[in-house]
Chains A and B, each alone.
Chain A
Amino acid sequence: MFDLDLWREIFQSINKNRTRGLLSGFTVAFAIMLFTILFGIANGLENTFDELFIKTADNAIYVYSGRTSKPYKGLQVGRAVSLYNEDFEYIKNEYSNKIEYITPKLSRNFQVSFINKKGSYNVLGVHPDAQHIEKLKIKKGRFINLNDIKSHLKVIVIGRLIEEDLFGKTSAIGQYVNLEGINYKVVGVFKDNGGDSQERLAYLPITTVQHIYIGKDAVGEINITYNRKMSSDEALTFGTDLTQTLRQRKNVAPTDQRAIRVNNMALQTKGIETMTGGLGILIFIIGLGTLIAGIVGISNIMIFIVKERTKEIGIRKALGATPKSIVSIILIESVLITALAGYIGLLIGVGVLKWVGPSLKEYYITNPEVHFNIIITATIVLIAAGTLAGFVPAQKASRIKPIIALRND
């Protein structure tokens, strides 16, 4: 039901009484502006945390081995503990439903050369899953695949900057690079957002590295990303479970931190979750506070406006206005002013964020902005707020007795 005349009445009332409209609008605009800025800052903080995890996956678990630091079952201290392919396979099979990606990893520095250009680079022997764990983007060609692993192929995937260093502007794909006397065919070039050092790495099939350089199937470390369906608490449990299982498997004291070490990113994730959670609650409380203050503010102003309009409302009632029509006038005026002023506040807030946003980077606030769906939410919130704010004043107005309003004083 769209009553054009009712809207005309309301627009005329707002238009002819601009001062009071501005007065009430200012409160709302200010509250919404604060609300927007707070929201933006909260988003900015979250963006910062997200960015910290661009380098590696935030659900990674790293398994390392070293020498024992405690005697166990008659075995002496200082015994070297190594992880082997069979340990990798064991973990992979035992925990398959808790693991997203898993790869063993052997790393070594190599002199890499192409014709007369050469450089020293960190080269990693891995499984295909490493691409996802390291968040590599294939620029051209492909990553290591299972066939490479099975057949110990002499193939290599190099970082974008290695290609630049050794090949200049020409493509490296299909060419052969030399790693200390042995030729490897370049099958892929990758990009990595984690920075220059990440793009000066090269990847080989781990079996090739084991076969050619080590002579046994030891793996240096095992990298895992856990299944994202798990909460960070479940992931932490998984980490400790994995640690204990491996220590038992390798005949290491259950408390020996050096022999088998597991570095679980879930710990940080959980910390950050708690922190952003706390931050979220804080922002929510502050935001709600400003919003409530805004609502109370406009409500008070509307009550004042109703007082000021007592006579007018009395006249309208004497002329036959029903209580319902009085309620709609006040309520809709409240909603209109709230929504309009709220939008202005929102725009100012967004503007402020855009303007000062870039200079906030040093305060760990990255890209503070409000998303479009927040604006939709805000619209709904504003209309609700306007209704809430106008409710008491409208009720007051509808109870005005025409006789009191019309008195001559």
Chain B
Amino acid sequence: MLEIKQLHKSYPIGDSRLHVLKGINLSVKEGEMVAIMGSSGSGKSTLLNIIGMLDHADSGDYILDGLPIKNLNEKKAAEYRNKFLGFIFQSFNLINYKNALENVALPLYYQGMKRKERQELAMFHLEKVGLADWAHHLPKELSGGQNQRVAIARALAANPKLLLADEPTGALDMTTSYEIMEFIQQLNDEGKTILMVTHEEDIANMCKRIIRLRDGVIMEDTAIKQVRAKQHV
């Protein structure tokens, strides 16, 4: 699915540079569910964003589904984000003036799908996350858990192969977090590859593999036995 070799990334801080990623090597196969852990500021989000083509690496190789990601033009990158990648963020990142249905339908709009078709498909995904009755509500009328489910429905709408989640449960209480994790596990069961940044050990344990970042490199990379979220609900 993806192949990363000697990936470096630094940010300019005043006159000097902050070296965040110092040679990451990572390989993820299709169907994996990987938790990325590490202390705050260790570069987890940075890594995830580069994988998601939202940011560029300074050096190193990144091959996504056989395509080397380097100097891709904006249009091509947009197409990849649209068709290949789904994002779930800690702060949901829904468009505040669009209702749940319209938010879910937005990636389909950028695919050029017809209005009727994309509304049907968006509704299908909202049903899947159990929010069909809330389709016409604005984000501000929904709870955190509901908003995150809208965001998941949106990430799924374009049927991406790779789902990237940056602390998807970070803003949610425990019960809601487990509900969300149950969804994500279900998606993985259905064959989607998932990369997830998290701070919480119990959430990480619900994945199938944990990598820990420290000082800009991967310190630890272990396969684990997945804990099913359903047991906790």
List the interface of chain A (C-beta within 8 A of B): 4-5, 8-9, 12-13, 16-17, 311-312, 314-325, 401-403, 406, 408
Contacts and interface: CB of A to CB of B under 8 A. Distances in A.
A12 B97 contact: yes
A319 B81 contact: yes
B109 A5 contact: yes
A322 B54 contact: no
Interface string B105-121: 01101110001000000
Given A12-B98, A320-B107, A320-B110, A406 B54 contact: yes
Contacts of A5: 109, 115
26 contacts: A5-B109, A8-B115, A12-B98, A16-B97, A17-B97, A314-B93, A316-B95, A316-B106, A316-B110, A317-B78, A318-B54, A318-B87, A319-B81, A319-B82, A319-B87, A319-B158, A320-B78, A320-B79, A320-B110, A322-B74, A322-B78, A323-B78, A325-B110, A401-B54, A406-B54, A406-B89
B88 to A, nearest CB: 11
B175 to A, nearest CB: 23
B172 to A, nearest CB: 15
Contacts of B49: 403
Contact of A312 (B91, B95, B115): B95
A16 B98 CA distance: 9
B107 A403 contact: no
Interface string B178-219: 000000000000000000000000000000000000000000
A93 to B, nearest CB: 78
Interface of B: 49, 52, 54-55, 74-75, 78-79, 81-83, 87, 89-91, 93-95, 97-98, 102, 106-107, 109-111, 115, 154, 158
B53 to A, nearest CB: 9
Contacts of B97: 12-13, 16-17
Interface hub of A16, A312, A402 (most chain B Cβ within 10 A): A402
A322 B107 contact: no
Nearest to B79: A320
A320 B91 contact: no
B115 A311 contact: no
A6 to B, nearest CB: 9
Contacts of A311: 93
A314 B94 CA distance: 11
B70 to A, nearest CB: 17
Nearest to A3: B112
Nearest to B90: A408
A402 B54 contact: yes
Contacts of A406: 54, 89, 93
Given A5-B109, A5-B115, A403-B49, A318 B93 contact: yes
Given A13-B97, A324-B75, A401-B55, A319 B89 contact: no
Nearest to A311: B93
Contacts of A17: 97
Nearest to B82: A320
Nearest to B118: A5
Nearest to A318: B87
Given A311-B93, A406-B93, A319 B107 contact: yes
Contacts of B154: 319
Interface hub of A9, A12, A17, A318 (most chain B Cβ within 10 A): A318
A408 B110 contact: no
Contact of A403 (B55, B75, B93): B55
Nearest to B93: A315
Nearest to A321: B110
B62 to A, nearest CB: 15
Nearest to A319: B107
B161 to A, nearest CB: 14
Contact of B158 (A9, A12, A320, A401): A320
Contacts of A8: 115
A323 B111 contact: no
Nearest to A6: B109
Interface hub of A314, A323, A324, A403 (most chain B Cβ within 10 A): A403
Contacts of A316: 95, 106, 110
Contacts of B111: 320
A212 to B, nearest CB: 92
Contacts of B78: 317, 320-323
B106 A319 contact: yes
B74 to A, nearest CB: 5
Given A5-B115, A319-B110, A408-B90, 12 more contacts: A4-B115, A16-B97, A314-B93, A319-B81, A319-B107, A319-B154, A320-B158, A322-B75, A322-B78, A323-B75, A323-B78, A403-B49
Nearest to A323: B74
A8 B75 CA distance: 22
A277 B49 CA distance: 63
A401 B11 CA distance: 15
A4 B106 CA distance: 15
Contacts of B90: 408
Contacts of A315: 93-95
A245 to B, nearest CB: 78
A203 B95 CA distance: 84
A170 B157 CA distance: 91
A323 B72 CA distance: 13
Contact of B81 (A4, A13, A318, A325): A318
Given A9-B109, A325-B110, A403-B49, A320 B93 contact: no
